[in-house]
């Protein structure tokens, strides 16, 4: 009897092991890998540390300065100070920002410090695209907004805008992410982060090529706001400081975004840690 049981166990054990392996393989195959920052998708990085609007990534997408923004101490090295009436930066068209695509994944991030967040006028930190397709980050009446839209093609995404309360003369880090967008509107594809924390998500999809010009510190050529404003060129100038603008056509994870926000936890006004400086250097070399 005992010999029979032993033989039975010898038969059962391989079957059980096969079942376990099959279950594990099934779990791995249906568990999606989380998209994350991919240095091969960097579109541009503007640190402003040398007092210019030169791109410090390997894309060499140097900005064209409008007006006379001042080079001042920022939260991570130098920043640019915009006067709210005539200072901005024009960002050239790029396959990795707007003229390529479609873009199922995108990350826009920047530090900002607005002199007066309560102005009854939009103050644009960054915009790309135009009235049909695009993305925008702006300050208005005590809030910071991030939005995106693709009002054409099969997707016909009319747009989504997420906001959070902010204060004047305070450093913040804002990140807008499109994550795994498709050619249709789906839940939770647009993400809005402030100071490394996810504020909210909204319905969204991918962006197709969008040819209108891009800008930092103002609307270079058309945008769309939460109230459907934003039509026009050279409008809605930012009043305050902007630092460390980052654009990728991949979706940053929480860890990626937290890495960018590190200067918020160290001494401001240019006194940042060696670790942060090394991280910036590594990004520009990859």
Residue-wise pLDDT tens digits, 190-224: 999 999 999 999 999 999 999 889 999 999 999 99
| Domain 39-285, CATH | 2.60.120.200
Whether the pLDDT of residue 155 is over 50: the answer is yes
- Please state, as a whole number, how many other Cβ atoms lie within 10 Å of the Cβ of residue 117: 23
181 bridge partner residues = none
Q: Regarding predicted confidence, which is higher, 154 or 7?
A: 154
Whether the pLDDT of residue 166 is over 60: the answer is yes
Does residue 120 have a cis bond before it (omega within 30 degrees)?
no
Q: What is the dihedral of CA 260, 261, 262, 268, to 10 degrees?
A: 120
Q: Scan for tokens 């059962």, then name that residue.
A: 12
Region 150-179: mean pLDDT is 97
How much is the pTM?
Answer: 0.83
Nearest to 45 by CA among 255, 216, 203: 216
Confidence at 36, pLDDT banded by 50, 70, 90:
low
Nearest to 226 by CA among 150, 137, 155: 137
- Cα within 13 Å of Cα(162), Cβ side: 20
Phi and psi dihedrals of 276, rounded to 5? -65, -40
Confidence at 15, pLDDT banded by 50, 70, 90:
very low
DSSP 171-206: -EEEEEEE-S-BSB-EEEEEEEEETTEEEEEEEE-P
Confidence at 89, pLDDT banded by 50, 70, 90:
very high
Region 80-103: mean pLDDT is 96
Whether the pLDDT of residue 9 is over 50: the answer is no
Nearest to 81 by CA among 60, 91, 63, 67: 67
């Amino acid at each position: 009897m005992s010999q029979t049981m032993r033989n039975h166990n010898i038969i059962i054990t391989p079957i059980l092991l096969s079942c376990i392996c099959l279950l594990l393989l099934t779990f791995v195959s249906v568990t999606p890998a989380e998209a994350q920052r991919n240095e091969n998708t960097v579109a541009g990085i503007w640190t402003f540390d040398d007092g210019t609007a030169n791109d410090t990534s390997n894309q060499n997408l140097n900005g064209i300065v409008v007006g006379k923004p001042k080079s001042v101490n920022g939260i991570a090295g130098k920043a640019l100070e915009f006067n709210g009436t005539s200072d901005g930066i024009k960002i050239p068209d790029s396959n990795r920002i707007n003229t390529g695509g479609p873009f199922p994944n995108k990350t826009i991030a920047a530090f900002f410090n607005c002199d007066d967040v309560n102005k009854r006028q939009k103050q644009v930190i960054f915009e790309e695209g135009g009235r049909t397709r695009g993305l925008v980050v702006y300050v208005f009446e005590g809030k910071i907004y991030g939005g995106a839209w693709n009002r054409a093609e099969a997707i016909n995404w009319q747009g989504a805008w997420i906001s959070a309360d902010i204060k004047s003369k305070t450093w913040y880090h804002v990140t807008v992410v499109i994550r795994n967008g498709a050619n249709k509107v789906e839940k939770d594809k647009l993400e809005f982060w402030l100071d490394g924390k996810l504020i909210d998500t909204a319905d969204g999809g991918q962006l197709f090529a969008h040819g209108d010009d891009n800008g930092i510190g103002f609307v270079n050529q058309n945008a769309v706001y939460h109230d459907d404003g934003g039509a026009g060129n050279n409008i809605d100038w930012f009043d305050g400081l902007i630092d460390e603008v980052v654009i990728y056509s991949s979706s940053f994870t929480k860890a990626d975004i937290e890495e960018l926000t590190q200067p918020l936890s160290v001494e401001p006004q240019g006194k940042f840690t060696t670790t942060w400086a090394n991280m910036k250097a590594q990004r520009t070399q990859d």
